[in-house]
Amino acid sequence: MNPTLDLLNARFSTRTYAEAPVTDAEKAAILHSAMRAPTAGNMMLYSIIEVTDQALKDRLAVTCDEQPFIARAPWVLVFVADMQKWIDLFRFSHAEEVEGVDHRAAPDVGDLMMACSDALVAAQNAVVAAESLGIGSCYVGDVLENGEIHAELLGLPQHTLPIAMLCFGHPAAKREPTPHYTRHVVHENRYHRLTDAELAEVSMDQGEMHSPHGFGPGVANFGQQVYKQKFTPAYMAEMNRSVRWWLDRWCTTEPR
């Protein structure tokens, strides 16, 4: 392989950090790389919030599903899907008056999808750049929860959405990357829906990969384990409620 592929294949999520700080030069290099990511129409439909206030990190560690490592992370970035800056620029530029029709009073779900894509591609560029400097990272999707609280904490205007948070720091220790199951992921030309035989294979292989010593009480197979851990907990109910709140806020013309 080559160094880039080696880097990608060796990555693991970092939640424990060495004392070494992320330097200003390293931060600048990572941010520059993030902003070199591909972007829809070169619009850069995102903003990046650098969390430097320890009190704010402490609060986010609680509101993002009680994860103390967030407060300990040397550097925290929130990647925000952002159409607000374009809505503001259109207003400033009198774009609707020149066009003669007010047909885009608020951004819609298509704008949101493109903005989320832009933000996440930029976030992953930041992850890869950090890895090249020996700096680990961990995605925190829970920033989508508690929408009303996070909008207030981060000062997010109406047509924005915090699609991901990243915690960075030099790893306290190296470890093996978590295995990823790669069978049945790539399809040729058309989507292939797995047969029961293939699903049985996935369940067995994934169970052996992730739970070699068996499952917890009342859990008979890998599918049941994931369903119990990821689809039924209270945090997923809050995630779904909060995302609906973000969507409604994004798409409405009424001030929120």
Residue 228 in any domain: the answer is no
- Name the residue range of residue 64's domain: 3-178
Could you give phi then psi for residue 206, rounded to 5 degrees? -65, -40
Q: Would you say residue 239 lies in a domain? A: no
What's the pLDDT at 115? 98
How many residues comprise the chain?
Answer: 256
Helix (H, G, I), strand (E, B) or coil at 37: coil
Q: How far apart are CA 171 and CA 99, in angstroms?
A: 53
- In-domain check, residue 251: no
pLDDT tens, position by position, 176-199: 998 899 999 999 999 999 999 999
Handedness of CA 183, 184, 185, 186 (dihedral sign): positive
Q: Specify if 229 maps to a domain.
A: no
CA 192/CA 187 separation, integer angstroms = 6
- Whether 112 is covered by a domain: the verdict is yes
Distance CA 56, CA 54 (A): 5
* Nearest CA among 252, 28, 48 for reference residue 135: 28
Confidence of residue 1 (pLDDT cuts 50, 70, 90): confident
162 domain-assigned: yes
Does the reported pTM lie above 0.95? no
Asked if 77 contacts 49 with a C-beta cutoff of 8 angstroms, the reply is yes
Domain assignment present for 31:
yes
30: domain CATH number is: 3.40.109.10
Whether residue 149 has pLDDT greater than 60: yes
Residue 241 lies in a domain: no
The number of distinct structural domains making up the chain is 1
Say what percent of the chain tops pLDDT 90: 74
| Residue 136 clears pLDDT 90, i.e. is over it | yes
